[in-house]
Amino acid sequence: MANLVTALRDVVAEHPAKAAYVFGEDTVSYEQFLGQVQAMASTLEAKGVNQGDHVALVLGNSPAFLISYFAVLARGGVVIPINPTYTPDEMAYILLDGDVKAIVGLSPLIAQAKAALSQLPQLKLVVSVPYADVPAEAERGAIEFLPFADALKGSGGTLHFVDEEEVAVILYTSGTTGKPKGALLTHRNLYSNAQSIGEYLEITPDDKALAALPMFHVFCLTVIVNAPLLRGATIVILPKFSPQDVFDLIPKHRVTIFAGVPTMYNFLLQTALKVPAYTSALKHVRIFVSGGASLPVQLLETFETTFECKILEGYGLSEASPVTCFNPLHGERKAGSIGPSIVHVENKIVDELGEEVGVDEVGELIVRGPNVMKGYYKLPEETAVTLRDGWLYTGDLARRDEDGYFYIVDRKKDMVIVGGYNVYPREVEEVLYQHPGIVEAAVIGVPDAEQGEAVKAFVVTREDVSIEDIRSFAATKLAKYKQPTQIELIDELPRNTTGKILRTVLKSEAFQNS
């Protein structure tokens, strides 16, 4: 049976004394970790959390997340990870739409939301980390409040192994177009992708993976949590990403696997350029993985030269658990490519009619495999649009070269049409990153009376760089219709908590100012 809980049990039987995770000065063995999971699963059982019930985790990177995640799965429940930095309205939407029966959340958030929680019709249990003041009986209603420490005192429960086709996790997408949608990921989806990544990256019990990405995000959940745990490796938990902490923790624990989004790589690079001693701090890392957004080639090459390493860029999306492509650990790695399809997963490029296009032709990337979601929660029409004939339509424009390596061109909805010509923002951004004075850049389309749309660039500079200088630089490398006609210098680009640049925010501001 393809199940993360059975896999954890098997690893414990083989490596009981091996470190499962490290948090601060605490090291917890696999046997101890399974004991924590069983204790909490027992408490959930006693409090009425049953198979199929939805449990929200509103937590940052912590042992509490790992324990709660596996405990819910061990009960046959469904985990809904929620970003703890979301606004109350954003959280409330997911909690309500997700029909949540129990919440494991950070104490300050629980304390702030007590009144709102009473409005959730199905909510029966709130576990606070580390604890929150229990409200007066009159305020509690039908909801039971429990400190996390008490949740770990359960005993007598058994691990519950559900069918692999049952839903294990509902991942709410970032909602760049309207309200977030809940992607239904089964036990088979998550297990198969974790297994594939573990094999692909050749993860062993000797490896230590740094959890610098947020655990509530599927990139971290699969590549840094599920895959290493399935292979008996150790997770070093970093509560929140900061370059300083990364440079401290990697040599301290001899971390061998690091996964990050392009923004994180840029922050590490900029910090090391100011403090050259840091360039040797990452020497123990054998695998650097980049995903979540396209990694600019110039950033990749500068990072690799500075730290004397190689970054493997891959591709994934929540609806695919998430990984579908990866540059190989051995063999040719192509800069700017997301690599070939991983084992058991098939990717192809199609036109508007769903017909496969030729080599180097641009079309929509579609995916098929055991990692592809069951559908969207309570959204049959959205599901029918996204899942067609067994294929997941990603909405990303891509091309495939003659060797089977894929290249993301851009998001379908981000493409800019200037006078009938297609302009892919990523292509323009790649050129801007080559300018020695530019730290970051993001490109969008804005209305233009003559051309329909025009290219606008938002640029963060390292030093005094004039708009005219940037414009002249772009003119030497881009066709006229691709050149930014508007350039705005800003202090920083807007991002979500996983580091992805929020083009929607840039577009909103651009339209307001136009």
Total Cβ atoms within 10 A of residue 143 = 17
Architecture of domain 415-513: 2-Layer Sandwich (3.30)
354 has pLDDT over 90: yes
Rounded Cα distance between 325 and 363, Å, is 16
Residues 262, 213: Cα–Cα separation, whole Å: 11
pLDDT in tens, 400-434: 999 999 999 888 788 888 877 778 888 899 999 99
> Pick from 369, 43, 394: which is nearest to 186 by CA?
369
Average pLDDT over residues 71-77: 95
Copy the structure tokens of residue 280. Answer: 């040797």
Of the candidates 308, 236, 217, the residue with the CA atom closest to the CA atom of residue 269: 308
pLDDT at position 171 is 97
d(CA 189, CA 211): 21
Q: Which carries the bigger pLDDT value, residue 34 or residue 159?
A: 34
Q: Check: CATH 3.90.180.10 for 4-10+25-162?
A: no
Q: Is the pLDDT of residue 255 over 70?
A: yes
Whether pLDDT at 140 is above 70:
no
pTM: 0.87
Choose the weakest-confidence range: 27-41, 99-113, 227-241, 336-350: 99-113
User: What are the C-alpha distances in Å from 491 to residues 395, 428, 499?
Assistant: 30, 20, 16
Q: Is 208 helix (H, G, I), strand (E, B) or coil?
A: strand
Alpha helices in 28-143 (DSSP H): 30-46, 63-74, 88-97, 107-112, 114-117, 137-140
pLDDT at residue 176 greater than cutoff 70: no
Contacts of 27 (CB under 8 A, 6+ apart): 19, 21
For the chain, the structural domain boundaries read: 4-10+25-162, 415-513
CA 232/CA 235 separation, integer angstroms:
10
Residue 428: C-alpha distances to residues 244, 303, 422, 423, 486 (Å): 31, 20, 12, 8, 13
Q: Residue 514 and residue 507: Cα distance in Å, rounded?
A: 10
pLDDT digits (tens, 9 = 90+) for 295-327: 889 999 999 999 999 999 999 999 999 999 999
Closest-CA residue to 80 (of 293, 292, 371, 377) = 377
Predicted pLDDT at 142: 81
pLDDT at 503: 85
CA distance 378 to 248: 45
pLDDT at 31 over 60: yes
* From 21-35, 139-153, 226-240, the region with the lowest mean pLDDT: 139-153
